[in-house]
Amino acid sequence: MTSVTLRVVETPAELRQGLSGAGRVGLVPTMGYLHEGHAALIRRARAECDAVVVSVFVNPRQFGANEDLGRYPRDLERDLHVAGEAGADLLFHPDVETMYPPGYASTVSVGGVSEPLEGTSRPGHFDGVATVVLKLFNLVQPHQAYFGEKDWQQLAVVRRMVRDLNVPVEIVGVPTVREASGLALSSRNAYLTPEQRGRAVILSRALRAVQEAAAAGGRDTASLRQAGLNVLTQDPEVDLDYLTVVDGDMHERGRVENDPMTRVLVAARMFGVRLIDNLPLWPEGDPA
């Protein structure tokens, strides 16, 4: 399917009308400035669903007061092109007043998995994410919704919310798409020059170093972490927030489990841009 078939809708009424009679609906929630990572989600939805909705909404409620809401990259033409090429049918692009009209007063707050890591560094972030994602689920009523593993903790928060609140949707996680260098694609990479993007590859190198330490038999979290830190300290530009190895509940333990949900996560500021990335500790699955 090409971009000619893609329709832009801006209101809940247009959305419902655009979806009337649709069979299996797939939803890909995004904040726009779409890249190949988003396209992978859309293509997966296209392969599995009859109708594919991509939402493009820079959700103010998931940004902290000192974060990059004002300068977050926006380019609807580009989004139309990427979403259309990847096979979307509808692009839902509401404005802030449509999502949060005057008098709006509700927040969805997920406990547990949302609390450490991003939850600590970005207070309120996951409340904003859970709130907008539940609103999008209610508006679109998708059978399946697609999220990237790039935002591993976000995926865990959404899964927790869906289970806890009995939301009738299946959550599908899609592996992270990377540049050939290893850098995870992100809309925020637009803030970096090509040279800076080259330096930012260090984050994925650190994750791989932790994987390698585990493959070499490392099991205590402190020594696995050190393998990653040895990489990160090579560039003074890395202002580390966290590097950790966690289980499926986002808990860091003294020793890692032979469990495919064990994940190594990193967050750091480089060149004034906050970047996150993660990998499974066992790339081939549980080593048993």
Residue 210 Cβ, how far from ligand AMP at the closest point, in Å? Answer: 19
For residues 19 and 138, what is the distance between their CA atoms, to the nearest angstrom?
Answer: 13
- The helix/strand/coil state of 109 is coil
Out of 52, 174, 227, 243, the residue judged to bind ligand AMP by CB under 6 A: 174
Out of 25, 41, 145, 157, the residue judged to bind ligand AMP by CB under 6 A: 41
Element (H, E) at 274: strand 273-280
Q: Is 125 one of the catalytic residues?
A: no
Question: Between 152-164 and 125-140, two packed helices, what is the crossing angle to 10 degrees?
Answer: 60
Instruction: Consult the annotation and say whether 114 binds a ligand.
Output: no
Residue 41 or 207 with smaller CB distance to ligand AMP: 41
Q: Which residue from 25, 6, 261, 268 is spatially nearest to 140, judged by alpha carbons?
A: 25
Asked whether position 31 contacts ligand AMP by CB under 6 A, the answer is: yes
Instruction: Consult the annotation and say whether 31 binds a ligand.
Output: yes
Out of 55, 114, 153, 176, the residue judged to bind ligand AMP by CB under 6 A: 176
DSSP per-residue string spanning 143-160 = SEEEEEGGGHHHHHHHHH
Residue 75 Cβ, how far from ligand AMP at the closest point, in Å? Answer: 12
Asked whether position 189 contacts ligand AMP by CB under 6 A, the answer is: no
Out of 15, 22, 30, 54, the residue judged to bind ligand AMP by CB under 6 A: 30
Asked whether position 150 contacts ligand AMP by CB under 6 A, the answer is: yes
Residues 197-216 that bind ligand AMP (CB under 6 A): none
Q: In what order do the strands lie in the sheet with 170-174?
A: 7-9, 90-92, 51-56, 25-30, 144-148, 170-174
Q: Is the dihedral of CA 87, 89, 94, 100 positive or negative?
A: negative
For residues 209 and 182, what is the distance between their CA atoms, to the nearest angstrom?
Answer: 13
Q: Is the dihedral of CA 92, 93, 95, 96 positive or negative?
A: positive
Residue 102 Cβ, how far from ligand AMP at the closest point, in Å? Answer: 26
Residue 189 or 211 with smaller CB distance to ligand AMP: 189
Q: Residues within the annotated binding site for beta-alanine? A: 62
Q: Which residues bind ligand AMP (CB under 6 A)?
A: 30-31, 37-38, 40-41, 147-148, 150-151, 174, 176-177, 184-187
Q: Residues within the annotated binding site for (R)-pantoate? A: 62, 154
